[in-house]
Amino acid sequence: MYPFPLALQDLLGHWPSYLVYLLVGFSFGYVLEIGGFADSRKLAAQFYFKDLTVLKVMFGAIVTAMVLIFLASGVGLLDYNLIYVNPTYLWPGIIGGLIMGVGFIVGGFCPGTSLVSAAVLKLDGIFFALGVFFGIFLFGETIGYFEEFWYSSYMGRFTLQDWLNLPIGIVVLIIILVALFMFWGGELLEKKFGNADLTKEPKWRYGAAAILVVGAIAVVIIGQPTTADRWTALEATEGARLANREVQIHPGELLEKLHDATLQVIMLDVRSEADYNLFHIRDARRVPLDALPGLIPALHEEPANTLFVVMSNDETAATEAWKILRAESVPSAYILEGGINNWLTVFADEAFRETAVKANTPDDSLAYSFPSALGARYEWAEPNPHDYTLAFTPKVELELKRGPSGGGCG
């Protein structure tokens, strides 16, 4: 298993984990304050190219974290899938960024730095922070008037490597080079518009720049783990669960969960289109096995009460699909025990089972013949749970899911 990111509440308990959150928050605020970020004049000066400390510090922190994250992911210390990435809503994001930028210029603060300023009792920071809270209240009271726009142009977990369609390492290297160019250009602007004396700038910044470049090159060379690499790292624990049949759930348990109002059940049917069209469980999605990796980002965005169940005609293809889900850190994933064949054995009527059963079917093939390709229109596609009394061992346990996190000026 990947050691990071840590689930602090599992590791330390509920209240001790809050001490860690408090320490991190205090440290972040302290660094901002000693860096002068509680001074609105220093913050506003960046927009006049007189003092670009904010750009250099914030962007420097971003690119440093980027290199460390993908280095740790590349060597198998960090599971990047478990890091929350804000979903992209393109046009609302652009308009929101413009509004925030205007507010930053006019007020001299972003939300985060205003709280730092308010914490040291600066009046402008206090009034700006109060304005932020008023803006939040105003937004909450008026969202109904523009909610359709607010949720428009949704792109999911869309990152630079998705946009550029380049390997992560190449994107990291490009961003590092762009950042260093901006830092260099920022110093020239500070000299021209702010009369900055560049001879007083610390010499260690050249070494730090070189370390970032070396780190980015290392990300390119090491690369990122494939799904197969991820499964290899998990095989000792997840393979044991698979072998012990801890993840294969009885059709009766799936039926029970489908009628549990507290759960959202997503069924992924990885069979061929022909078999799916002959018969499938109502609301099951057909996802070809080779297309499943492309669906992973969307599955990660599902709510924490989501149960994922993969199925094939027996368990062969479903097991491969389950391995992909687990390797890509999709939580609460299970296999339909015995597949669609077992579902029909349990729920189809006796006359159908006796007349439609096939003899000597190959592995992962339908064990029954269907007179017509009716898909989910057969009555066994949506059985009534009150019509059956089934004995099975419950296996489903929802796993803890990482929640959203914030940072920076947001």
Domain with 288 in it: what CATH number? 3.40.250.10
* Residue 399: inside a domain: no
Strands (E), 85-202: 88-89, 154-156
Domain boundaries, position 57: 8-227
Average pLDDT of the segment spanning 70-97? 91
Are 274 and 149 within one domain?
A: no
Kindly state whether residues 76 and 170 are assigned to the same domain: yes
Query: Domain ends where: 182, 203, 227?
Result: 227
b/e 328-354 (16+ beta carbons within 10 angstroms → b):
bbbbbbbbbbbbbbbbbebbbeeebee
- Residue 191's pLDDT band, with cuts at 50, 70 and 90, is very high
Average pLDDT, integer, range 207-222: 96
Under the banding of pLDDT at 50, 70 and 90, the label for residue 209 is very high
Q: Please give the pLDDT value at position 402.
A: 55
- Cis amide leading into 251 (omega within 30): no
Query: What pLDDT, on a 0 to 100 scale, did the predictor assign at position 360?
Result: 83
Indicate whether 213 and 267 sit together in one domain: no
Of the chain, the percentage scoring pLDDT greater than 90 comes to: 72
> What is residue 44's three-state secondary structure?
helix
Per-residue pLDDT for 320 more than 80?
Answer: yes
Shared domain check, 193 and 238 = no
Q: What is the pLDDT of residue 400?
A: 66
Q: How confident is the model at residue 317 (pLDDT cuts 50, 70, 90)?
A: very high
Q: Same structural domain for residues 140 and 22?
A: yes
Q: Where are the beta strands (DSSP E) in 66-148?
A: 88-89
Model confidence at 404, in pLDDT bands (50, 70, 90)? low
Residues 95 and 173 in one domain: yes
**Whether residues 236 and 179 fall in one domain:** no
d(CA 240, CA 250): 19
Summarize the confidence of residues 291-316 as an average pLDDT: 94
Give the residue-averaged pLDDT of 353-372.
Answer: 90
pLDDT tops 80 at residue 409: no
Token pair of 288, please? 């070809």
The answer as to whether 191 is a domain residue is yes
- Nearest alpha-carbon partner for 161 in 73, 60, 54, 57: 73
Last residue of a domain, one of 174, 200, 227: 227
Q: What is the pLDDT of residues 250-266, one digit of tens each?
A: 999 999 999 999 999 99
Is the domain of 201 the same as that of 287?
Answer: no
Instruction: Please indicate, yes or no, whether residues 304 and 369 belong to a single structural domain of this protein.
Output: yes
Question: pLDDT band for position 13 (50/70/90)?
Answer: confident
Residue 3 lies in a domain: no
State the pLDDT at residue 405.
53
Whether residue 376 sits in one domain with residue 341: yes
Confidence of residue 181 (pLDDT cuts 50, 70, 90): very high
- Flag whether 165 is in a domain: yes
Q: Does 398 reside within a domain?
A: no
Q: Give the pLDDT score at 121.
A: 93
Average pLDDT, the chain: 91
| pLDDT tens for each residue of 111-160 | 989 999 999 999 999 999 999 999 999 999 999 999 999 999 999 888 99
Residue 407 has pLDDT above 60, yes or no: no
End position of a domain, from candidates 189, 209, 227: 227
Banded model confidence at residue 11, pLDDT cuts 50, 70, 90: confident
Residues 223 and 234 in one domain: no
In a domain, 298, yes or no: yes
Amino acid 319: pLDDT: 97
The answer to whether residue 13 sits within a structural domain is: yes
pLDDT tens profile 98-115: 999 999 999 999 998 999
pLDDT band for position 1 (cuts 50, 70, 90): low
Whether residues 244 and 374 fall in one domain: yes
CB under 8 Å to 140, separation ≥6 — which residues? none
The answer to the question of residue 201 being in a domain is yes
Residue 182 pLDDT class (50, 70, 90 cuts) = very high
When divided into structural domains, the chain yields a total of 2
